[in-house]
Amino acid sequence: MKIKSIRFFSPQENSSKIEKSKPQAKPTGYITANGKLVLPNNTIEELGIEPENSKFKIGAEQGKRKLKNLYLIPTTDTSDTFSLVKSGRGYVIPLEFILKKGGVDFANNKYTFTITLFNYEDGVVGYELALSSSSVSAEAEEKPAYTGKPRGRKPKVETPAE
């Protein structure tokens, strides 16, 4: 039997392929039908937030009527701040009236948000919550009537006998 030439691999070649991993998903949360921002436990851990001690200033872009993004800025100041409240699967911030004023229809639509970090000022890292909705109402789920060409065989048309 003839000996074939064999190419052997090194451990360094194997480790460099492991380093190429797909990018991690951004932390997410959702808004309940009662108007509460829900941050699940794994999102809190991923962001490195201490829920018992954290206070946030919450805001939106100035001059916008409808909320598309919310901004959470961690602060040590106790006036005009919101704190995290322990709930079943994570922590919540009740914002019912603010969301209603901002045009967020959380009662009829399910809203989720992705969280990205941004530099606010003086080295303070804030959290940007980008809202996206998916309709829950029955009217939105109905399919519109089909208005295209009819398919299939054409019906036979009887011609009158002469």
pLDDT confidence band for 5 (50 / 70 / 90): low
Q: What is the pLDDT of residues 119-143, one digit of tens each?
A: 888 888 888 889 888 765 445 456 7
Q: What is the pLDDT of residue 143?
A: 73
Q: What is the pLDDT of residues 13-67, one digit of tens each?
A: 666 444 445 566 788 888 988 888 999 989 888 888 888 888 888 888 888 888 8
Helices (H) and strands (E) in the chain, counts: 4, 9
Q: What is the pLDDT of residue 17?
A: 47
Cα 51 from Cα 70, distance rounded (Å): 18
Q: What is the pLDDT of residue 27?
A: 84
Backbone angles phi, psi at 98, to 5 degrees: -65, -45
Q: Could you tell me how far CA 159 lies from the centroid of its own chain?
A: 62
